Chains A and B, each alone.
Chain A
Amino acid sequence: MSVAHAAPAVPENLTWQGGSEPLKASYGKLMMWFFLLSDTFTFSALLITYGMIRFSQPAWEGAPHDFYFSTTHWPIPEKVFEAVPFLHGMSLPLVFVGIMTFILIASSVTMVLAVEAGHRGDRKDVEKWMLWTIVGGFTFLGSQAWEWTHFIHGPEDLSLAAKQIIDGVSTPIEGANLVRNPYGPPAFADLFFFITGFHGTHVFSGVILNILIFFNAATGVYERRGHYEMVEKVGLYWHFVDLVWVFVFTFFYLV
């Protein structure tokens, strides 16, 4: 016990109440890491479910250019996600989701720049980079809202939509929801809504946290406190959201 008392003076934010800190990380940062680990399990559960259901359904066996939407085989993602705002009617597979990926990576960069500015105690720079991160977050959310709207609407040309049998007549499926999907098996729409929706909810809470941090930085709370560690903690969360998107992008859109 006497060892703990003899420890050299460490700034208050770098110690736990019992004395020196475990794993050389402050309480808040360590708890954020373990929260993110638990969140990893939740997201992995969703992506693993996607993998399992996808491999339990028949895949499209023919050539990609012969592909058509049907509830009897899993869709090829680049045939489903090929629309871009303001470029109506053009087939641009995966371009919009690529732009969304870029927006999220860029906002992750502005977040590290805010953390770096916090280390230097540069309040003006923290404010500037936090603001850019918030802008990036809202842009991503807007893009996702557009993507969802487009998906829910279904293919514009109804003859392309998958068919369902109503009263013995084969009818095109109009619009996607949790029980029917004009692009393929209903499970594909369910997984799209759940995985991107759960990620989008995380982005939304991240933006709220970023706004709080920006507000506190701008009103000088962290300058009075003497350190900007809150920026780092929320930064960890924001990068995690970016990390999850990297996996969603690969496993939902590319593979």
Chain B
Amino acid sequence: MASHVAHGTSEKEIPAPNTGAIWKTFWILLILTAIEFVIAFTMAASTLRVAIFCGMTIVKAFYIVGEFMHLKHEVKSLIWAILIPTVFVVWLLVALIYEGGHLY
């Protein structure tokens, strides 16, 4: 990654910025957040609305982790090392929300 960077402070060519993918991700995140707002004010609260919000949050998380944090471009074993443990988080969330509804 940094291997092409010349050592020392001598005059060197600095390549032009290549930021197309970054700005594309930015617009996707911005538009998804805007749509979430529209849904929050036009749709009555329901299980379907909660499901839509959760789905859109996961899509946003995918773009932040995949593009901004570059995980999409890492080796497969690193991707799985991060993703598999988070499955337990989802399990705990579902289990405790279900339990919470039976507390009182």
Contact = CB atoms under 8 A, between A and B. Distances in A.
Interface of A: 11, 13-14, 23-25, 30, 33-34, 37, 40-41, 44, 47-49, 51-57, 64, 76, 78, 93-94, 98, 101-102, 105-106, 108-109, 111-113, 116-122, 125, 220, 223-224, 226-229, 232, 235-236, 239-240, 242-243, 246-247, 250-251, 254-255
Q: Is the interface of B mostly helix, strand, loop or mixed?
A: helix
16 contacts: A11-B2, A40-B85, A40-B86, A47-B93, A52-B99, A52-B103, A56-B103, A102-B33, A113-B19, A116-B22, A122-B17, A226-B2, A236-B69, A246-B57, A246-B60, A247-B57
A125 B97 CA distance: 46
A223 B9 contact: yes
Contacts of A255: 50, 53-54
Contacts of A117: 17
Interface residues of B, number: 58
Contact of B64 (A24, A94, A108, A116): A108
B98 to A, nearest CB: 8
Nearest to A59: B45
Interface of B: 1-3, 5-7, 9, 12, 14-15, 17-19, 22-23, 25-26, 29-30, 33, 36-37, 40-41, 44-45, 50, 53-54, 56-57, 60-61, 64-65, 67-70, 74-75, 77-78, 81-82, 85-86, 89, 92-93, 96-101, 103-104
